[in-house]
Structure formats: C-alpha cells, structure tokens
C-alpha cells in the first residue's frame, strides 16, 4: 500500500540524518522538497537519484489534493523541507491533514528539528515548555506578547536574524528587562553559537554583534515569585 513519508532533514550538518531516512529517500517514487536546489545538495552527497518536485508554502494549497491522488494511485512519496522536520514552521501540515482525512497512510520519521537542541542547551526547565514558532510580524504581535508575558513554561521561538534585536527589546518591554533567555544560532554548523543572559543583555550584545543564520530563541517562563 502506497503512503506519504514525512522525513526530517539536517538543520546544518549533513551527517545528521538517519540511515532509515536515507533508505526511504532512495526507495520512494518521488520526493517533494521545499526547495529542490537546497535538497539536491543533500541527495547528491548520499548519491540519491530519486526525482524531486517543489512543494512549498506558495503552492501547497493548490497541490495537496493532487499529491494525495498520486499516492492513492500507487506512488510512494516523501516530503522534506529545507531543514528540520516538515510541518514545524515549514510546509507539511496541510498535506498530512489531507492524507489523514482521505485514509492515506502517513509515516513520520524521527529526526532533526532546531528547537530541541536549543531547548536542551538553554538550561531552562524542560519538564514543561511551549513551542510558539515565529511571532506574528504585525497584526496580533502585541496581543501575543501580552498573552505570553505570564506564561510559566519555558517558551521557544524561531526568529530571523534581521528581527532578533527588535524581538528581544519587545520581550524586555512586555516580559521585563530581567527575563532570562537564550539565543542559539547556526546550530550544528561551524559557527554555532549559544548565548544566554537577560533579554536586555542579549539585545545589547546583538546590537553590537550583528547576528547571522537561523536562530532559535528560548525564553524562561514567568517565575511564581
């Protein structure tokens, strides 16, 4: 029976992929990739010659039903994103939901996702945490920050290097200048950086040292005190 495979890919270091993922990528009939140019680097490294097609946030709404049709016709398809696990702040949710609604088997592999190593490295409490992904850019941003200002759990955000300082300053405004946070940048890559301090200290540091690369921001929850 044909199925959809959700396959995590490395977030930086190309060695961070499982043997099972490599086997399935080589066995399926088609790989749907967020950016075929980016994914071709990974496939070339491991000599995987499976055909690829694009599946990204700009075309997924109109393509998911057609993909499901192809799986029902007997084609095994793997879905990958540029880095990490599809569906986690990347395309994947819509296709997975359509397949589930149509009774198509979906098999999701474990693997790389950026927030887990960032969370563990932050040294904040791990017993309870919430993943918030990207904050709204405009509409609803202040409302979301006010809502999260009293959140007692450790919070995880994805952020662009171009908005990091702005976000840290807003966190200082809504959460308090002394709220502890951790910035993880370029995880698994040569220039990996993990820096912890108050949101104010981190804003000052990255104002002087322009951040680059993918960023995970971990923020301590509101203390009961």
Distances (CA, A) of 89 to 167, 175, 209: 18, 24, 26
Q: Where in the chain is the domain with CATH 3.30.950.10?
A: 115-219
CATH topology of domain 115-219: 3.30.950
pLDDT of residue 225: 67
Give the pLDDT of residue 23. 98
pLDDT on residue 1: 85
Q: And the tokens for 138? A: 């405009």
Transcribe 164-222 into DSSP letters.
Answer: HHHHHHHHHHHH-TT-EEEEEESTTSTT-EEEEEEHHHHHHHHHHS---S-EEEEEPPP
Q: Which residues of the chain have pLDDT under 50?
A: none
Helix-helix angle 199-208:164-175, to 10 degrees: 160
Match domain 3-108 to its CATH number in 3.40.1010.10, 2.30.110.10, 3.20.10.10, 3.40.50.720: 3.40.1010.10
| Residue ranges of the chain assigned to CATH 3.40.1010.10 | 3-108
88-137 pLDDT, tens digit per residue, is: 988 899 999 999 999 999 999 999 999 999 999 999 999 999 999 999 99
């Amino acid at each position: 029976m044909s199925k959809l495979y959700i396959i995590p890919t490395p977030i930086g270091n190309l060695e961070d992929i499982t043997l099972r993922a490599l086997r399935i990528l080589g066995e399926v009939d088609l790989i749907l990739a967020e950016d075929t140019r980016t994914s071709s680097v990974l496939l070339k490294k491991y000599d995987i010659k499976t055909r690829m097609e694009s599946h990204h946030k700009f075309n997924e709404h109109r393509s998911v039903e057609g993909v499901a049709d192809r799986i029902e016709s007997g084609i095994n398809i793997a879905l990958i994103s540029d880095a990490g696990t599809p569906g986690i702040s990347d395309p994947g949710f819509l296709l997975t939901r359509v397949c589930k609604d149509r009774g198509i088997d979906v098999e999701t592999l474990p693997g790389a996702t950026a927030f887990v190593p960032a969370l563990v490295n932050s040294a904040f409490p791990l017993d309870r945490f919430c993943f918030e992904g990207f904050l709204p850019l405009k509409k609803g941003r202040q409302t979301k920050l006010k809502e999260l200002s009293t959140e007692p759990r450790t919070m995880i955000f994805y952020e662009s290097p171009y908005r990091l300082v702005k976000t840290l300053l807003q966190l200082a405004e809504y959460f308090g200048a002394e709220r502890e946070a951790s910035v993880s940048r370029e995880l698994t890559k040569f220039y990996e950086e993990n820096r912890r301090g108050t949101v104010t200290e981190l804003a000052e540091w990255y104002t002087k040292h322009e951040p680059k690369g993918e960023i995970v921001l971990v923020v301590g929850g509101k203390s009961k005190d």
